A and B are shown apart, each in its own frame.
Chain A
């Protein structure tokens, strides 16, 4: 299990923002924090480091997410 702390920069446009939030809420791997203006703190839990990497790419590709910042990653449970 890999735990990553991420910050997503959201598009300020409200419609796209709602769409993005809905989509993120539906993703079981993600736990969403309290948004600060256009920044959304997120914790991602993936089965492996590689899966985490893939998720990073996936998030970056979502329309309405302008940027993904990686704050910290915990590999300690990786085998």
Chain B
């Protein structure tokens, strides 16, 4: 090649690169040579789905600076190229016509546009004026760097611990269940169990709609000729039931009795796995008040406590025939079967949530159905990063990143060291859990309402808090209470706020999520956010910097440097609080790699950010190998796979009892706090539907999803409808002691509740069922029960339009 040809080739390469950049909206991420090729001008890149905790990977097709198509990602192990209807339409969630594009401030009752400078100043003033009364209410839909920044800002900066996430409402009981049983959070198994299990038992779970990809992963095995037995333990027939071999309908709350009934039969018939129990388990009983540690117990005590849970008595409590209980116990008693239990909100949103989680782990341990592929008690999460951002980053009022807690002086010391803070900066007293935080925000300062500002990010508490008329609404009338909401659409919460900050969403920003099977997933920004919308993480950093400039001492580390020091390659600080400079460096990468240092304490090791760029997610602990590669762990505590389990086939290396054993708990059946009576004769259960994500603020703006399920409804048994004299479609009043909502009847509906119970989904912002639900919660996890309360259903007065 002569010099001229060389010059020509180089020039052409430069011109082509520039043409790409110009054509694709100035997005440097789309330059050629460093991404997949473009066909029809469409560039494809990976991202985890924005919606549920399954954590599928999608391929996002971008052209002209806009998302134009979505495909399942063939290289993703979770979904192997398949998606559910939400996932296929996730790209449309960005383009609802009413995206928030400017900061808005409430003046004289009206939200009016203001500048970002003003908005950040206002937030900073609220925090500066009363740091102790300033709380952040976050989300399992936060990215890991966002949650980490918020956590550090509150716990390391404002030194108050007033941060809690909406995930408190969805998986706190799963956390306490894991902590009390294994001493460390999150499932030991993973989705691979579903490919191997002979029996899948679903405890109050409807994965056909809520975790569709996992459900297909199971039932598609049947299409391939494999045998897998599905058993549905549920309080109403759902889409899942249709695919199950057995559907056992039980009375609300009686899952506690069923679990004890199974354990009783295992013990009495001697079919429990004695060798397993002797080697790997200790027994535990409750303390009063309840605690995660409990008191030591023995097999004999356990056996006696179970004695009253005979099949007949359990049938009495639960309505599940004794023969079916025996069938369940026989399955668990067999060593030749692999059994996986799945559960989600049914067991977690429970005033005895910790107890039922413990009991289900207990059955698996007692029968030795644990630690082999296909033998696993696996809790599923609802949100895409409830595990990643909430449980692992510790954005809970009592937690620190990496499974550490504020109450432990050693843990505080570790955190202060990583954050380079003066000793004693982090406070030992946990902040308020969700229900308490909102209660205090909805109570006047004089009456003890010591939270005066809440900054909400990525969630819609006006519609998702239980008993919203008591926990949320009063704050909007009390003077001195200031609500800040970062969101992408005018949600019910945003519209009630004093200050609204427009956010970037999903592929409009860099991000990292962590799904239900300990899988950490990274993606890059692919398109620009609309108008003046900006990253939630930037918002947090900008406020932190403003507080720093105002002289709040907490915003500096012990060397006087800014708490969030982001640097360039040369080690020079980059002023990322200036939005124009925010993407000069990869802020996510720097926050993530700092956070990573926390993950080694509890053996939740993460790889460096750069490794996740290459992968479709990796399951922690991710451990570096001798050859410099990084290896993920599928089966925790199992010697054949977990590098930290070295002493025995199974090693519970964070055991509560410090002897590498897991705990089998006994908890009695206890009735729920509110049961139907003469005044309120029916059970109300709430939940989701396939098409919609949480309160519907995104999916209700996607035409295909909204058309398929355009409005909430109350599902009712045909005989109850007959007794009331209502027809399909008739609008009725569903009311409890706390509130009411008017909603059309769908006899049977998507699911089929048994007589005496109704179901209302919560996706519809216009029909807020959480005005009706109960705010009673589990004593340990503080997670409220959305699944059962007493209501009555009435016809509307004649002549109501």
Contact = CB atoms under 8 A, between A and B. Distances in A.
A and B in contact, CB less than 8 Å: yes
A20 to B, nearest CB: 15
A59 B127 CA distance: 57
Contacts of B22: 7, 9, 39, 69
Given A1-B4, A4-B11, A43-B11, A36 B64 contact: no
28 contacts: A5-B11, A5-B12, A5-B14, A5-B18, A6-B15, A7-B15, A7-B22, A31-B8, A33-B12, A33-B19, A34-B16, A35-B19, A36-B16, A36-B23, A36-B41, A37-B23, A39-B19, A39-B23, A41-B12, A41-B18, A43-B8, A43-B11, A43-B15, A71-B11, A71-B18, A72-B15, A74-B11, A77-B3
* Interface size, A (range): 20 to 34
6 shortest interchain CB distances as A-B pairs: A41-B15, A5-B11, A39-B19, A5-B15, A37-B23, A39-B23
Given A35-B19, A39-B20, A72-B11, 20 more contacts: A3-B4, A5-B12, A5-B14, A6-B15, A7-B18, A31-B8, A33-B15, A36-B16, A36-B24, A36-B41, A37-B63, A39-B18, A39-B19, A39-B23, A41-B15, A41-B16, A43-B8, A45-B8, A74-B7, A77-B4
A38 interface: yes
A40 interface: yes
A51 B12 CA distance: 19
A65 interface: no
B41 A42 contact: no
A38 B22 CA distance: 9
Contact of A40 (B4, B19, B38, B41): B19
B65 to A, nearest CB: 10
B14 A71 contact: yes
Q: Is the interface of B mostly helix, strand, loop or mixed?
A: helix
Nearest to A38: B23
A41 B8 contact: no
Interface of B: 3-4, 7-8, 11-12, 14-16, 18-20, 22-24, 38, 41, 63-64
Contacts of A7: 15, 18-19, 22
B18 A69 contact: yes
B12 A36 contact: no
Interface of A: 1, 3-7, 9, 31, 33-43, 45, 69, 71-72, 74, 76-77
A42 B15 contact: yes
Q: Which of B8, B18, B24, B41 counts the most chain A CB atoms within 10 A?
A: B18
Contacts of B38: 36
A71 B8 contact: no
B382 to A, nearest CB: 40
A36 B19 contact: yes
Contacts of B24: 36-37
A22 B63 CA distance: 26
Contacts of A9: 22
A71 B19 CA distance: 9
Contacts of A5: 11-12, 14-15, 18
A50 to B, nearest CB: 19
Contacts of B7: 3, 74, 76-77
A35 B15 CA distance: 11
Given A36-B20, A38-B23, A39-B23, A71 B15 contact: yes
A5 to B, nearest CB: 4
A25 to B, nearest CB: 15
A34 B16 CA distance: 7
Contacts of A3: 4, 7-8, 11
A12 B774 CA distance: 59
Nearest to A43: B11
A43 B24 CA distance: 20
Contacts of B20: 36, 39
A1 B15 CA distance: 18
Contacts of A38: 23
Nearest to A37: B23
